[in-house]
Amino acid sequence: MPKVVIDPITRIEGHLRITCEVEDGVVVDAWNSATMFRGFEIFMKERDPRDAWQFAQRICGVCPTPHAHASVVATEHAMGVENVPDAARITRNLIEATHVGYDHVLWFYHLNALDYVNVSNALNATASTPSLQAVQDQVRAVVESGQLGPFANHWWDHPGYLLPPELDLELTAHYLQALEIQQAANDAQAFLGGKFPMIMNYAAGGVQALPTIEQIEYYIAQMAKVKDFIDTVMLQDLVAIAPFYIGLAETGAGHGNYLSWGLFDDESQEPVNRVLPSGVIYDQDITNVLEADLDEVRMYTAHSWYGDEVGEGKHPLDAGQEPLEFTSLDDMNDSETYPEGKYSWTQSARYGEDSRPMEVGPLADILVAYGRGRQEVVDVVDSTLEAVGAPGQPEVLLSNLGRIAGRVLRAKVNADFAQQWADELLSAIGSGTTEVYEHRDVPESGEGAGGWNAPRGALAHYMRIEGGKIGSYAAVPPTNWNASTRDDMDVRGPIEETLIGLPIEDPERPLEILRSVHTFDP
Amino acid sequence: MAVEESSLLSVSRRDFLKFCGWVAAAMGLHTVSATDVARALENAMTRRPSVVWSSFQACTGCAVSLLQNREPSVANLILKQISLDYHETVMAAAGSAAEELWEEVTSGDFYWVVEGSVSTTIPEAIMIAGKTGVQIVDETYPKAAATISTGSCACYGNIQASNPNPTGAKGIAEYLREDGGVAEPVVINLPRCPGNGDDLVATLAYVLVTGELPELDSIGRPLFLYGQTIHDNCFRRGHFDAGEFVETWGDEGWEKSWCLYKVGCKGPFTYAPCGVTQWNGNVSWCVHNGPCMGCAEPRFWDELTPFYEQTPGVSVPGVGGFTAEQIGIGLGVATAVGLGAHAVGQIATGRFGKGGPPEDAEGGES
C-alpha cells in the first residue's frame, strides 16, 4: 500500500516524521518517528546532581522551565529534601505561571492556527477597523512582494480551510498581536529568572533568590496583560472558529487514557493537591480518577533504536539508553537487523500494571482536574461547553477539538491563578517568611523522582545518586507518551492511534494529518 | 475581539532608530550611522534579504529566543526587514510542501542561519526529510551567501557534545573543517545558550551595511560583539574588586548584590555581550538571578562545571591558582587575564570594544 509521509512536521518542538497508510480516503495505519537523538541520560551521568536541572532545561527550549522544575524536584528527592521552603514553592509557581502564559499563546496562534486560518484569504475580507485594515495592507504588501516568508508554499487552496475572510483577517491580526503577548509573559519570566529561554534561579533546595517587590509588581502587570488577552481574544477566537471546524469533535479520540502529574503546588507540596492535580483516567471514564504514581512508569524499546530485551518494560532509571545501530525510517514492521522493526529515537512510556499507553497534555490535565471536582476548572469547562453548544457534555472534549480547547482552557485557568501566587508571595514576605533555600549536602547515594506538567503534558525526571554523583538519570517527557512508538505488545502510541480512521481529502496534501498531530503540540 | 492599535506592525520609529544606533555603535565603525543601518534594514534594496533557518540537534530554544526579539519587533523583522523564507518552527508549509520550498529557497541567494549541532558518529541522529544533518550541511554551506551559527550548539556542539558526546555532535564550522573537507570554513559563530536575537540582527545588519563579514576572534565570534567578558560589564563587579561575595542563596550578600564568584559565577572566563544587550527586550540578564554559567564558551558543560561551585580548574592562565579573595584585591591579576577595561556597574549601549580575548585566554576549538 502506498504510504503518505510528512517529513518535516513543521511548527513543533524538535523533529518529527509521520508515516500513514491511507485506503479509500481514510488512514488505516500510522507511525510516528522522532528523527533526533542527543543522549541526555548518557552525558548527564557522573555529573554533580545539583547541576542536573540546568542540563535538563536544554531537553526542550520551548518548555525548558517545566523541565527545570521536574528535574530539580527529582534532585531534591534524591538528596532527601521532601519540601522546599514555602517562599521558594510560591516563587516557582510565579515563574511557572509566566511560562504557561507564554507557551499556550504561542501554540494556539503560531504553531497551530495556520492549520485553520487562511492568511491569503484574509485579503478578501472587508476590514472593519483601521487596525484590521493596517494588518490587511501589510499582508497584501507581503503577498505582492512575492516574498511570502513563513507563509510560502503552504496548501492554502486546500478545501479544508473553512473560515470566512473576515475571521481569517481577524485571526491573522491576533497571530501578530500574540507575538507580543507571549513576549509579555516571557518578559516577566526573564525578570524573575534572569532570561528566557533558560532561566537561572532554581536551585536544588529552593530558589536562588526571593523576588523583590519590584519583580512581583512587574509580574502582576505582565500577567494582567496575558489574562486580558486570553479572556478577550483567545477564548473568543476558540468559540468563533469552533463551529466552522466542529468536525474535529468527531475525530482524534485515541486510546482514552489520560495521565497528569500535576501543576502548581499548594503549601502541602503534594501532587494530588495541586491546582491541576495528579491523576490517571482509564477508558474515557472521567468520573473515576485514580492516583498517579511515578514509579508505575515502564519504558519499552522494541520499535526504537535502543537495546532492551523485547517484551520487558523497564523502570526509566534502568531502561536501555545506549543507542543501537540506525537502520532505516521505513522498517516499520521488520528489517534484517531488527525483526521487530525499529523506526524512532523515542522510547515508549507505558503506565501501570497492564502497561497502558497514556495521553498527556492540557486535555489530560483538565479532565483529571474536572474529574476530581476542582471547582475553578469545573466552572471554566462548563461555561465553555455551554458557549460551544454542548452544555453538560464533557465527552465532546475527548477529541481533536477537545485537545485544542484543553490548551485554551488551561491557559485560562493559569491566567486566573496568576494573581493568587503574587498575593501569596507578598503575604509571605509581609509575615517574614522569606527563606528560599535549604542547604543539604549531596549524599553518597539516593534516588528520587519529580513529576510536573509541562504545557505539552505530564513530564517526569528520575535521578539515582551513586558516589555523590549522578549514577543514572532519566527524563520521561510528553514525547515519550504522546509520540511513543508501538510498545513491545504492538499497541500504538497515542498520536499514532489518534490518526487511525481519520478521513483524508487529498493524500497529496494531508492537512488533516498535520492538524491531528498538532493537537498534541509535539 | 479587540486589536490594539499600538501593536502589530507599527513599531515606533524612535525605537527602531535607537536600535539602529546601537547596531552602528556596536560595529565600531565611525563611518556608519544609525540612518545607514536603518536604510539597510528597511529594504532600500528591491528585494528583502532571504534568510533560511535550519534546525539540527537542538532544543528549539534558539528559535524561541528569536521570537523574543524587539527593535525590530519579530513581525517587522521577518515580514519587513528580512524575508524568513524557511524556518521549520514557524513556517506554515510542512511535508512535501516544505521539501519543495527548501529546494527553491536554497537555489537562490540566501543567508543561512543554523540552530543546533550535527551528529558525526551517528549521522542519522538528526534527520530531516530523510537526509542527515551532515548531508544537508555539505549541500547547503557552499550555496549560502553567509553562514551564521546561532547558539552554542551550532557553534561548538554545546550540551550534546559534552562528555562522552554520544553522537559525535559538532558545530557547523567544526564539522566542515574536521570532517567536511573545508580547510577554512567561513562561519560566523554567535554562541550563548540559547542564541540571542540581538546578536543575529546586529550581525545581519553588519553584513548588509558593510557588505563584509565582521572581524572574528580565533573561535569564530565577531569581535564587535564578543570582545569583552561578562565580568567586564557586570553590575556586581565593584563587589568583586572589593572582595564582597555571596556565600549561599538568599544570604545577606545576595540582598546587597554582591559578587557571585564564590557560588560559581563563570563571568570572568566568559566572553559575551549579555551585560550590554541583556535579554528579553533588555528586561534582565542572568547574573541578576544567578551566577553566569559560561554558556558562550566552547565546552562549558565539561570545563566550567560544577556550575554552583567556585570555579574549578579551568585552564585560564593567571586565575586557576588564585582564590577569589586574592583576585578581588589584586587588580594586577585581573589585568593579566585581560579584564582591564571596565566601568563598574555601568551598562551603557555602544560600549563594545574592538579588542579580542588574549590569545591564551581559553583553549579554542579542539
Q: Are residues B131 and B250 in the same domain?
A: no
Structural domain includes residue A349: no
Q: What is the mean pLDDT of chain B?
A: 81
Q: Are residues B92 and B197 in the same domain?
A: yes
Q: Are residues B288 and B326 in the same domain?
A: yes
Structural domain includes residue A347: no
Q: Are residues B187 and B299 in the same domain?
A: no
Residue ending a domain, choose from B226, B259, B278: B226
Distance between CA atoms of residues B254 and A203, nearest Å: 14
Structural domain includes residue A301: no
Structural domain includes residue A181: yes
pLDDT of residue B33: 74
Percent of chain B with pLDDT over 70: 75
Residues in chain A within 8 Å Cβ distance of B288: 194
CB B218 within 8 A of CB B364: yes
Q: Are residues B243 and B202 in the same domain?
A: no
Q: Any CB–CB contact under 8 A between A433 and chain B?
A: no
- Each of the 522 residues of chain A gets a pLDDT tens digit; together they read 779 999 999 999 999 999 999 999 999 999 999 999 999 999 999 999 999 999 999 999 999 999 999 999 999 999 999 999 999 999 999 999 999 999 999 999 999 999 999 999 999 999 999 999 999 999 999 999 999 999 999 999 999 999 999 999 999 999 999 999 999 999 999 999 999 999 999 999 999 999 999 999 999 999 999 999 999 999 999 999 999 999 999 999 999 999 999 999 999 999 999 999 999 999 999 999 999 999 999 999 999 999 878 888 999 999 989 999 999 999 887 788 898 899 999 999 999 999 999 999 999 999 999 999 999 999 999 999 998 888 999 999 999 999 999 999 999 999 999 999 999 999 999 999 999 999 999 999 999 999 999 999 999 999 999 999 999 999 999 999 999 999 999 999 999 999 999 999 999 999 999 999 999 999
**Cell numbers at residue B39, please?**
536604510
User: Who contacts A246 (Cβ-Cβ below 8 Å, separation ≥6)?
Assistant: A401
Structural domain includes residue A183: yes
Q: Are residues B47 and B145 in the same domain?
A: yes
- Among A240, A442, A452, smallest CA distance to A365 is for A452
Distance between CA atoms of residues B164 and B160, nearest Å: 9
Q: Which of residues 372-401 of A touch B (CB under 8 A)?
A: none
Q: Are residues B120 and B47 in the same domain?
A: yes
**Cell numbers at residue A113, please?**
492556527
Structural domain includes residue A66: yes
B27: pLDDT strictly greater than 70: no
Can you state the angle between helices B34-41 and B13-27, rounded to 10 degrees?
110
User: Who contacts A50 (Cβ-Cβ below 8 Å, separation ≥6)?
Assistant: A75, A203, A204, A442, B306, B307, B308
Give the distance from residue B31's alpha carbon to the nearest chain A alpha carbon, in angstroms: 31
**Cell numbers at residue A281, please?**
483516567
Summarised one tens digit per residue, pLDDT across range B331-362 is 222 222 222 222 222 222 222 233 333 333 33
Q: Any CB–CB contact under 8 A between B100 and chain A?
A: yes
B323: pLDDT strictly greater than 90: no
Known catalytic residue: B62?
yes
Q: Specify the 3-state DSSP secondary structure of A471.
A: strand
Structural domain includes residue A305: no
Q: Are residues B211 and B237 in the same domain?
A: no
Total domains in chain A come to 1
CB A281 within 8 A of CB A258: yes
Whether residue A271 has a cis bond before it, omega within 30° of 0:
no
Nearest CA in chain A to B252: A209
pLDDT of residue B361: 33
Residue ending a domain, choose from B181, B200, B226: B226
pLDDT of residue A389: 84
Total domains in chain B come to 2
Whether residue B194 has a cis bond before it, omega within 30° of 0:
yes
Distance between CA atoms of residues A157 and B211, nearest Å: 40
User: Residue B291 maps to which CATH number?
Assistant: 4.10.480.10
Residues facing A31 on adjacent strands:
A19
Residue ending a domain, choose from B206, B226, B246: B226
Give the distance from residue A101's alpha carbon to the nearest chain B alpha carbon, in angstroms: 14
- Single out the catalytic residue among B20, B239, B259, B342: B259
CB A78 within 8 A of CB A59: no
User: Residue A162 maps to which CATH number?
Assistant: 1.10.645.10
pLDDT of residue A280: 98
Known catalytic residue: B259?
yes
Distance between CA atoms of residues A81 and A73, nearest Å: 9
Residues facing B279 on adjacent strands:
B284
Can you state the angle between helices A375-387 and A362-371, rounded to 10 degrees?
110
Summarised one tens digit per residue, pLDDT across range A301-345 is 999 999 878 888 999 999 989 999 999 999 887 788 898 899 999
User: Which residue of B163, B194, B280 is in closest CB contact with A187?
Assistant: B280
Q: Are residues B168 and B251 in the same domain?
A: no
Q: Specify the 3-state DSSP secondary structure of A201.
A: coil
Cα Rg, chain B, nearest whole Å? 21
- Single out the catalytic residue among B20, B155, B239, B265: B265
Structural domain includes residue B344: no
Q: Any CB–CB contact under 8 A between B308 and chain A?
A: yes
- Single out the catalytic residue among B20, B231, B239, B342: B231
Give the distance from residue A467's alpha carbon to the nearest chain B alpha carbon, in angstroms: 16
CB B59 within 8 A of CB A59: yes
- pTM of the entire predicted model: 0.92
- Among B252, B278, B249, smallest CA distance to B265 is for B249
Structural domain includes residue B63: yes
Give the distance from residue B183's alpha carbon to the nearest chain A alpha carbon, in angstroms: 27
User: Who contacts A11 (Cβ-Cβ below 8 Å, separation ≥6)?
Assistant: A110, A111, A112, A114, A518, B88, B89, B90, B91, B92, B94
CB A483 within 8 A of CB A119: no
User: Which residue of A12, A36, A58 is in closest CB contact with B126?
Assistant: A36
Provide the domain limits for residue B318. 231-336
Q: Specify the 3-state DSSP secondary structure of A506.
A: coil
Structural domain includes residue A345: no
Nearest CA in chain B to A131: B5
CB A296 within 8 A of CB A352: yes
Structural domain includes residue B94: yes
Summarised one tens digit per residue, pLDDT across range B193-234 is 999 999 998 998 888 888 889 999 999 999 999 999 999 999
Distance between CA atoms of residues A59 and A503, nearest Å: 34
Distance between CA atoms of residues A442 and A463, nearest Å: 13
pLDDT of residue B41: 64
Q: Are residues B222 and B301 in the same domain?
A: no
Q: How many residues does chain A have?
A: 522
Provide the domain limits for residue A240. 3-295+357-518
Nearest CA in chain B to A117: B92
pLDDT of residue B19: 66
The answer to whether the CB atoms of A200 and B286 lie below 8 A apart is yes
Q: Specify the 3-state DSSP secondary structure of B14.
A: helix
Q: Are residues B80 and B185 in the same domain?
A: yes
Angle (CA) A64-A68-A72 rounded to 5° is 175
Interface residue of A33, A58, A235 to substitute, partner B, most B CBs within 10 Å: A58
Summarised one tens digit per residue, pLDDT across range B275-300 is 988 999 999 999 999 999 999 999 99
Structural domain includes residue B342: no
- Single out the catalytic residue among B155, B193, B239, B342: B193
User: Which residue of B8, B58, B70 is in closest CB contact with A177?
Assistant: B8
Q: Are residues B214 and B71 in the same domain?
A: yes
Summarised one tens digit per residue, pLDDT across range A403-426 is 999 999 999 999 999 999 999 999
